[in-house]
């Protein structure tokens, strides 16, 4: 036999570099559902079911295409509990010349695979992951010598590189790079939000759901009502569904939150993009085409393209530029453990309850819930970065270390000192009130900062500002906050700080 090709659960792309370099008549593929990968964190049941089912469907497609695939389905009694053990067994059995793979998306496994040649006794060839617009080396070159890394400038480079939303003479369509200012509307129920794309589980998915319920019953979330796409064809249909029904309003309501609607006008495409069921550039091309043909406005289409070739590529670049040290960053010195209600949703704070409850049911919450509700609360209360990063990695169907870590540790927790944002996204209850209808159904009163029923976000916000004066007072984007705080009468400041202290001491009771 020639080579063994290892394909991981987030590498389900027919154009994967390791496959492109292989020969289906000689080389053989290995894919495995293993205990170590399924249980290194408390992965949501729907996340496990999605990845296992998509892997099984992809293995079947490869076999139909003529590949020989060695596939290990999950069972707790399997003797090979790690990918390395599976590959070692097959290496003994098949005696390949080399192991070929595509670089994986997280440092933990990457650093292990880099050592495998020693235990396997054969060369391990790691091909670059070509499914991104910006290669790691290209990002490192762009970042070199820059004092601050700003997504907006990187994004413009990616627009030029891909030609997405560029005129033939090299200008941005609509004469602006960014239409974000148009994308901040509150949603009042109209126009109605479309139902999300649904696929009824087939026999493979039903088997996997049974397996997850049998063997991962103690993992977070519910496996009920699983309706995610698990093949390339279905993921393509999900993209078309988004373009037809949600894209026209995606921009306007991108930052909105609702007490009644889980998905609003978001694309729900991240699980497919992150596992290889959709390609990012062709996805953006289809969305851009909707603008050229008059089916969606430019603010929506530009906003979507920016999330993918801007933010998604940018966070990946930061991850590989700064790992492994990045994961240890804690520049604000946080020490508090994650409150238990992040796992139960059992809190009187309506906005948090709704975001956590949706996460448990759907393995999904949209960006503003992640950033401005669960994230904002963790930032204001000084949760340890490792605790909150582990939570985000576990609960979302799209969570993989390379994208989860920079978003949580950098964008939300500001634990990296500002690579992902020039100021922390800290906000009081006013922001949540402006962008949602949660507050009108809440136990707490959003207009109050002190008193038993005062919205916890208010006092916690000022407590955060006050206790991090040394970190932020000289940040030009924070000057106004400090001026506002310092203007408050001393007595009022004292009352707010006392309320903040009380909230921090009684965090589990909120």
Binding site for ligand FAD (CB under 6 A): 266-270, 273-274, 304, 307-308, 311-312, 315, 366-367, 370-371, 375, 392, 396, 398-399, 403-404, 407-408, 411-412
CB nearer ligand SF4, residue 308 or residue 349: 349
Q: How, if at all, do strands 98-102 and 124-127 pair?
A: parallel
Q: Taking CB under 6 A as the rule, does residue 273 contact ligand SF4?
A: no
CB burial of residue 4 (10 Å; 0-12, 13-18, 19+): buried
- At residue 365, the 3 state secondary structure works out as coil
Among 432, 465, 478, 503, binds ligand SF4 (CB under 6 A): 432
Separation of CA 266 from chain center: 14
Among 12, 204, 235, 439, binds ligand SF4 (CB under 6 A): 439
Partner from ligand SF4, ligand FAD, none binding residue 54, C-beta < 5-8 Å depending on class: none
Partner from ligand SF4, ligand FAD, none binding residue 446, C-beta < 5-8 Å depending on class: ligand SF4
Q: Taking CB under 6 A as the rule, does residue 220 contact ligand SF4?
A: no
Q: Taking CB under 6 A as the rule, does residue 446 contact ligand SF4?
A: yes
Partner from ligand SF4, ligand FAD, none binding residue 266, C-beta < 5-8 Å depending on class: ligand FAD
CA-based end-to-end distance of the chain: 61
Q: Which stretch binds ligand SF4 (CB under 6 A): 64-72, 176-184, 261-269, 432-440?
A: 432-440
Partner from ligand FAD, ligand SF4, none binding residue 444, C-beta < 5-8 Å depending on class: ligand SF4
CA distance 51 to 211: 13
**CB of 257: closest distance to ligand SF4 in angstroms?**
10
CA distance 393 to 257: 22
Pair 289, 469: CB distance under 8 Å: no
CB nearer ligand SF4, residue 18 or residue 351: 351
Rounded (to 5) percent helix, strand, coil in the chain = 55, 5, 40
Pair 330, 385: CB distance under 8 Å: yes
Residue among 334, 74, 309 at smallest CA distance from 212: 74
The H or E element that residue 32 is part of is strand 28-32
**CB of 371: closest distance to ligand SF4 in angstroms?**
14
CB nearer ligand SF4, residue 56 or residue 353: 353
Q: Which stretch binds ligand SF4 (CB under 6 A): 164-172, 215-223, 427-435, 459-467?
A: 427-435
Q: Taking CB under 6 A as the rule, does residue 457 contact ligand SF4?
A: yes
Among 323, 349, 379, 397, binds ligand SF4 (CB under 6 A): 349
Q: Which stretch binds ligand SF4 (CB under 6 A): 102-110, 191-199, 453-461, 471-479?
A: 453-461
CA distances from 84 to 53, 58, 255, 277 (A): 21, 21, 43, 25
CB nearer ligand FAD, residue 74 or residue 272: 272
Residue among 431, 425, 396, 433 at smallest CA distance from 409: 425
CB nearer ligand FAD, residue 4 or residue 383: 383
The H or E element that residue 125 is part of is strand 124-127
CB burial of residue 312 (10 Å; 0-12, 13-18, 19+): buried
**CB of 268: closest distance to ligand SF4 in angstroms?**
24
**CB of 254: closest distance to ligand SF4 in angstroms?**
19
Q: Taking CB under 6 A as the rule, does residue 221 contact ligand SF4?
A: no
Burial 123-145 (b: 16+ CB within 10 A, else e): ebbbbebebbbbebeebeebeee
Partner from ligand SF4, ligand FAD, none binding residue 349, C-beta < 5-8 Å depending on class: ligand SF4
**CB of 215: closest distance to ligand FAD in angstroms?**
24
CA distance 333 to 282: 42
Q: Taking CB under 6 A as the rule, does residue 351 contact ligand SF4?
A: yes
CA distance 475 to 7: 45
Partner from ligand SF4, ligand FAD, none binding residue 312, C-beta < 5-8 Å depending on class: ligand FAD
CB nearer ligand SF4, residue 204 or residue 351: 351
CA distance 140 to 153: 14
**Residues in contact with ligand SF4 by the rule CB under 6 A:** 349-351, 429, 432-433, 438-439, 442, 444, 446, 455-457
């Amino acid at each position: 036999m020639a080579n063994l090709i290892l394909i991981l659960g987030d590498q389900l792309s027919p154009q994967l570099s390791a496959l492109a370099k292989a020969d289906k008549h000689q080389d053989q593929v290995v894919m495995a559902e293993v205990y170590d990968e399924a249980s290194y964190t408390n992965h949501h049941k729907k996340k496990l079911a999605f990845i296992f089912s998509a892997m099984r469907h992809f293995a079947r497609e490869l076999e139909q295409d003529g590949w020989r695939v060695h596939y290990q389905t999950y069972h707790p009694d399997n003797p090979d509990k790690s990918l390395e053990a599976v590959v070692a067994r097959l290496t003994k059995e098949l005696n390949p010349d080399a192991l070929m793979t595509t670089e994986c998306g997280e440092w933990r496994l990457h650093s292990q695979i880099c050592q495998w040649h020693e235990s396997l006794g054969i060369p391990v060839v790691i091909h670059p992951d070509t499914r991104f617009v910006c290669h790691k080396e290209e990002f490192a070159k762009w970042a070199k010598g820059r004092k601050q890394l700003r997504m907006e400038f990187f994004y413009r480079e990616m627009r030029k590189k891909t030609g997405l939303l560029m005129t033939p003479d090299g200008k941005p369509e609509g004469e602006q790079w960014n239409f974000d200012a148009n994308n901040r509307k509150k949603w009042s129920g109209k126009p109605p939000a479309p139902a999300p794309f649904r696929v009824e589980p087939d026999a493979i998915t039903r088997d996997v759901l049974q397996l997850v319920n049998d063997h991962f019953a103690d993992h977070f979330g519910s496996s009920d009502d699983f309706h995610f796409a698990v093949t390339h064809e279905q993921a393509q249909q999900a993209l078309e569904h988004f373009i037809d029904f949600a894209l026209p309003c995606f921009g306007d309501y991108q930052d909105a939150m609702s007490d009644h609607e889980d998905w609003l006008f978001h694309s729900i495409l991240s699980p497919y993009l992150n596992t290889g069921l959709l390609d990012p550039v062709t996805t953006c091309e289809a969305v851009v085409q909707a603008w050229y043909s008059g089916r969606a406005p430019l603010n929506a289409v530009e906003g979507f393209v920016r999330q993918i070739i801007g933010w998604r590529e940018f966070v990946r670049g930061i991850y590989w530029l700064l790992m492994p040290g990045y994961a240890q960053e804690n520049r604000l010195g946080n020490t508090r453990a994650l409150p238990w209600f992040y796992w139960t949703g059992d809190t009187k704070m309506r906005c948090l309850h709704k975001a956590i409850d949706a996460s448990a049911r759907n393995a999904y919450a949209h960006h503003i819930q992640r950033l401005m509700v669960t994230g904002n609360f963790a930032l204001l209360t000084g949760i340890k970065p490792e605790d909150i990063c582990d939570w985000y990695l576990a609960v979302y169907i799209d969570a993989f270390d390379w994208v989860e870590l920079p978003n949580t540790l950098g964008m939300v927790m500001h634990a990296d000192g500002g690579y992902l944002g020039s100021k922390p996204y800290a906000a009081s209850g006013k922001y949540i009130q402006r962008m949602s209808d949660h507050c009108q159904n809440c136990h707490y009163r959003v207009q109050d900062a002190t008193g038993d029923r005062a919205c916890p976000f208010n006092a916690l916000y000022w407590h955060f500002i006050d206790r991090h004066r040394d970190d932020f007072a000289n940040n030009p984007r924070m000057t106004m906050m400090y001026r506002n705080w310092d203007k408050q009468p001393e007595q009022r400041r004292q009352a707010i700080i006392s309320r903040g202290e009380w909230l921090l001491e009684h965090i589990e009771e909120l």
